[in-house]
Amino acid sequence: MTDILTGLMQETISGVALGCIYALIALGFTLIYKATEVVNFSQGEIMMVGAYMHFFFLNQFVALTGGLNAWVFLLAFIGSVIFAVLFGIILDFIINRPLKGEPVFSIIMATISLAIILRSLTAMLAGPLSLIPISPFGDHTFILGGVVISILDISIIFSAIIMMSVFYYFFNYTKWGISMKATSADSEAAQLLGIPVNKVYRYVWIFASVVGVLSGIMLAPRMALIDTSMAFLGLKAFPAAILGGFGSIKGAIVGGIILGIIETVSLGTLSFYFPWIKEINDIIVWIVLIGVLMIRPDGLFGMAKVKRV
């Protein structure tokens, strides 16, 4: 019995870590959807680009200083964040500006083509090699009451908590965060109140890009290697965003963590005791999603839209 419990504990912890990453990717979807009603199909690709850029910066700085230390990691991190901001500005210029006022599905198509471009361009520039990433916190494990915990998971959980608190502060207490919320609630009313809606849209894209790059940096050490198939994790974060309710920040975080736990637990202990789960472990997430949507069609935290005729 205790075996099952320790197993479950262990998987829950690593599930929370995985879920935090899903939550961050889902946050990127949510932000853009909230502000512009566009489903951004390229969020997973942005995350992949982030992971590659961080690796590139790390390599460059190691070559410059000749050693791997905390400063190198910090510099690479800052470099990636600066890159993310620039990337967001570029995305705004490519996707958002030219298609202003066009139907939403045109913009969705533009994000799909952007996803294709980013995936192939990364493969072309970085070559077909898979890269082995490293974490600044190492990959030791320690044992706490019989449960083996990896430093990597703990570091991911902590940095996710820090980031989410920053986002929470940003959205609820700063001027730009509140104007983003206002724009997403009703862009015309926001414009009437003097909020520069176009600027807000640009900031939303920058924000989504930064979130995507950060989740890429966090995810990379957990993946054992980076290659372009990492982008498909973006599709796996979709159910997280949907489960919590598309367009709800709280929902993205809770949905991400729930799905992360479901995934690791069903892959580990449950499939050990119920062999048939092993065969369907990669669709359990989707079954849960469909089940939840049948009961709550707008997700766990989503609000039903009131329709006017």
Partner 1 sequence: MKTRFEDEKLKWIPLLILLVFFFPFVLKSATFSYKYYLYVINLAGIYMILTVGLDILSGYTGLMSLGHAAFLALGAYFSAIMVDQLGLPFELSLILTPMLVGCFGFIIGFPALRVQGIYLGLTTMGFGFIVKRLIIVFNEWTGGSAGLSVSNAKLFGWTINSDWENYFIIYFFVIIAIIIGRKIVRSKLGRAFMSIRDSEQAAIASGINLAKYKMISFFISGSFAGLAGVLFAHTSNFISTDHFDILLSIYFIVMVMIGGIGSIYGAVLGTLFIVLMENLFIPLFEDGLSKFIHLETGDFQAFIFGLIMLIFIIFQPLGLYGMWLKMRIYWKIFPFNPRKRFT
Query: Three-class SS string for 2-36?
Result: HHHHHHHHHHHHHHHHHHHHHHHHHHHHHHHHHHH
The binder of partner 1 chosen from 5, 121, 166, 193 (CB under 8 A)? 121
305: three-class secondary structure by DSSP: coil
For residue 87, state whether it binds partner 1 (rule: CB under 8 A): no
Sole window of 52-60, 146-154, 173-181, 297-305 interacting with partner 1 (rule: CB under 8 A): 297-305
Q: Is 227 in the site for partner 1 (CB under 8 A)?
A: no
> Which listed range, 145-153, 171-179, 207-215, 296-304, lies at the site for partner 1 (CB under 8 A)?
296-304
Query: Which of the residues 255 through 284 are near partner 1 (CB under 8 A)?
Result: 279-280, 282-283
Residues 6+ apart with CB under 8 A from 296: 302
Q: How far apart are CA 274 and CA 260, in angstroms?
A: 19
Residues numbered 90-109 forming contacts with partner 1, rule: CB under 8 A: 94, 98-99, 102-103, 105-106, 108-109
The span from the CA of 215 to the CA of 203, in Å, is 18
CA–CA separation, 282 and 269 (whole Å): 15
Residue from the set 115, 200, 204, 261 that interacts with partner 1 by CB under 8 A: 115
Burial degree of 241 (CB within 10 A; 0-12, 13-18, 19+) = buried
Q: CB-wise, 212 or 299, nearer to partner 1? A: 299
307 belongs to the binding site for partner 1 (CB under 8 A)? yes
Residues in Cβ contact with 185 at an 8 Å cutoff, skipping those fewer than 6 apart: none
Under 8 Å between Cβ of 49 and 213: yes
CB of 183 vs partner 1, minimal distance in Å: 19
Q: Does 306 sit near partner 1 (CB under 8 A)?
A: no
The residue among 63 and 124 lying less far from partner 1, judged by its C-beta, is: 124
Size of the site for partner 1 (CB under 8 A): 45
Q: Which two tokens stand for residue 17?
A: 């870590």
Task: Give CA–CA dist 180/195, Å, rounded.
Answer: 9
The secondary structure element, H or E, covering residue 251 is helix 249-265
4, 162, 290, 303: which one binds partner 1 (CB under 8 A): 290
Q: Is 242 in the site for partner 1 (CB under 8 A)?
A: yes
**How distant, in Å, are the alpha carbons of 63, 171, 176, 196 from that of 202?**
35, 16, 12, 10
CB nearer partner 1, residue 105 or residue 158: 105
Cβ at position 238, least distance to partner 1 in Å: 6
Burial class (CB in 10 A: 0-12, 13-18, 19+), 62: middle
Instruction: Point out which span in 12-20, 152-160, 200-208, 236-244 binds partner 1 (CB under 8 A).
Output: 236-244
Binding-site ranges for partner 1 (CB under 8 A): 33, 39, 41, 94, 98-99, 102-103, 105-106, 108-110, 112-117, 119-121, 123-124, 128, 235, 238-239, 242, 246, 279-280, 282-283, 286-287, 289-290, 293-294, 297-299, 307, 309
